[in-house]
């Protein structure tokens, strides 16, 4: 058991060391992705505990958060490539506007 704990500890230390070298704008995208995912999880938990009376509003909010998470991860993958990220941001902004417009229209 102690050997497994040491292996996990080494993995976490190596991940932390390599993530420390990550550029600041990629860390910002990671933080935004985590925030969007946490919001989706909170909405799902709230819907399970309280109920989903305006179901279309729940679906619009949930899919908006999940869509934001997915689109931000796609932008992060493109931005992590050498020289990438600047041109892809226009497509990201257009996709986010389309996602938000679809979500607002779905609410009714």
Looking at residue 6, its pLDDT comes to 85
Is residue 76 a contact partner of residue 29, using CB atoms and an 8 Å limit?
A: yes
pLDDT value of residue 4? 82
- How large is the average pLDDT for residues 72-100? 89
For helices 55-79 and 24-50, give the axis angle rounded to 10 degrees: 160
pTM over 0.75: yes
- Report domain extents, the chain: 23-107
Q: What is the per-residue pLDDT across 25-51, written as a single tens digit (0 to 9) for each?
A: 899 999 999 999 999 999 999 999 998
- Report the SS3 class of residue 53: coil
Q: Rounded mean pLDDT of 53-72?
A: 94
């Amino acid at each position: 058991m102690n050997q497994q704990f040491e292996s996990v500890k080494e993995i976490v230390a190596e991940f932390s060391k390599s993530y420390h070298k990550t550029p600041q704008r990629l860390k910002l995208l990671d933080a935004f992705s985590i925030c969007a995912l946490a919001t989706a999880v909170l909405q799902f938990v709230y819907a399970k505990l309280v109920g989903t009376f305006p179901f279309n509003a729940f679906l619009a909010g949930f899919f908006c958060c999940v869509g934001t998470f997915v689109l931000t991860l796609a932008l992060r993958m493109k931005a992590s490539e050498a020289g990438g990220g600047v041109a892809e941001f226009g497509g990201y902004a257009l996709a986010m506007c389309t996602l938000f417009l679809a979500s607002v229209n779905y609410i009714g």
